[in-house]
Amino acid sequence: MLRGADQQVDGVHWFGGSYEVDCWPEFKSLTGDVISRTAFGSSYLEGRRVFELQAELFGRVMKCIQKIFIPGYMYLPTENNRKMHQINKEIESILRGMIGKRMQAMKEGESTKDDLLGILLESNMRHTEENSQSSQGLTIKDIMEECKLFYFAGADTTSVLLTWTILLLSMHPEWQDRARKEILGLFGENKPENDGLSHLKIVTMILYEVLRLYPPFIELKRRTYKEMKIGGVTYPAGVIINLPVLFIHHDLEIWGSDVHEFKPERFSGGISKASKDPGAFLPFGWGPRICIGQNFALLEAKMALCLILQRLEFELAPTLKNIRV
């Protein structure tokens, strides 16, 4: 439930009153928009279409996975399989068209470096020119896969984070007030600047605590590439190991007896002092495959929270009042 006063912010008039809003689809739309503009810049609308198709494809794949596994079933011409094939073809055709147009523009000397696709294509072109003998760089197919990955990695994860944050701040109004005070103290009613966002201490503590309690990736998977010993056990090559992020974030021995409680203050001394084991906070993974979008995600979440908290107060909708999380 959002509540706002009648106010003028950044030249926009906000009418007061209370509204019931389902945050999840709103945040999905917001993060889809942000990632599409970042990845595809001026071709953002085509990018948006690709992402909508990917979301539909993902829904259909999940439906298949939930059924009993029959080897080869996905190759049968069922209605769902045909539709998935068609969606995939449409995604690839849009991406191929976008990449083709960009490469043409680059050949004609236009700079396309202001979005991810442009940076990827320019760096790939340079790499291919400099190493033409030893390495071919990325293929068009590789570039298409990178573009698809950015949507899956960057949109739903950040909307999960924002949705849980609004839910928890609705249940803990004292933290909502502290965050709002911090934001108004730093920016007043002005639009926050990138540099200023790094000074948000309370908001950062809140986001870390939400990521600890409800990490968007609840487990990570690794495969042993050779025989190796982990925790006293020897594993042969090819074993898949699950790293249960959710369980590690809820481990009483690491985080203490208040492990299940929403307590952003545990991060007041930074991540390293929040628990007995600094490596136990893994919302963005760890090691060489750590999330490359983590700074981007936190910046995006902070910006969204600032804009919301500057204008609105929120509480749980009456239908959610008895919810326990």
Binding residues, as ranges, are: 291
Placement of tokens 């966002």 in the chain: 197
Three-state DSSP at 70 gives coil
Structure tokens at 110: 């236009």
Residue 254 CB, shortest distance to ligand HEM, in Å, is: 18
Q: Does 47 bind ligand HEM (CB under 6 A)?
A: no
Contact present, 207 and 301 (Cβ < 8 Å): yes
Least distance from ligand HEM to the Cβ atom of residue 264, Å: 16
Of 4, 196, 256, 285, the one binding ligand HEM by CB under 6 A: 285
Among 293, 311, 315, 320, interactor with ligand HEM by CB under 6 A: 293
Which window, 18-26, 168-176, 180-188, 279-287, contacts ligand HEM (CB under 6 A)? 279-287
Q: Which is nearer to ligand HEM, 184 or 292 (CB)?
A: 292
The answer to whether residue 150 forms part of the interface with ligand HEM (CB under 6 A) is yes
Q: Would you say 84 or 167 has its CB closer to ligand HEM?
A: 167
Q: Which of 87, 291, 299, 307 binds ligand HEM (CB under 6 A)?
A: 291
Alpha carbons 137 and 17: distance in angstroms, whole number: 55
User: Is residue 254 within 8 Å of residue 277, measured between CB atoms?
Assistant: yes
Q: Which of 153, 186, 280, 320 binds ligand HEM (CB under 6 A)?
A: 153
What are the residues whose beta carbons fall under 8 Å from the beta carbon of 302, sequence distance 6 or more? 192, 197, 200, 203, 204, 207
Please give the residues from 185 up to 224 whose contact with ligand HEM meets the rule CB under 6 A.
Answer: 216-217, 220
CB 171 within 8 A of CB 126: no
* Beta bridge partner(s), residue 243: 220
**The dihedral sign for the CA sequence 116, 42, 59, 89:** negative
Query: Is 137 a binder of ligand HEM (CB under 6 A)?
Result: no
Q: Which residues contact 226 (CB under 8 A, 6 or more apart)?
A: 237
Residue nearest to ligand HEM (CB): 293
How many CB atoms are closer than 10 A to CB 33?
A: 15
Positions touching ligand HEM (CB under 6 A) are 149-150, 153-154, 157-158, 161, 216-217, 220, 283-285, 289, 291-293, 296-297
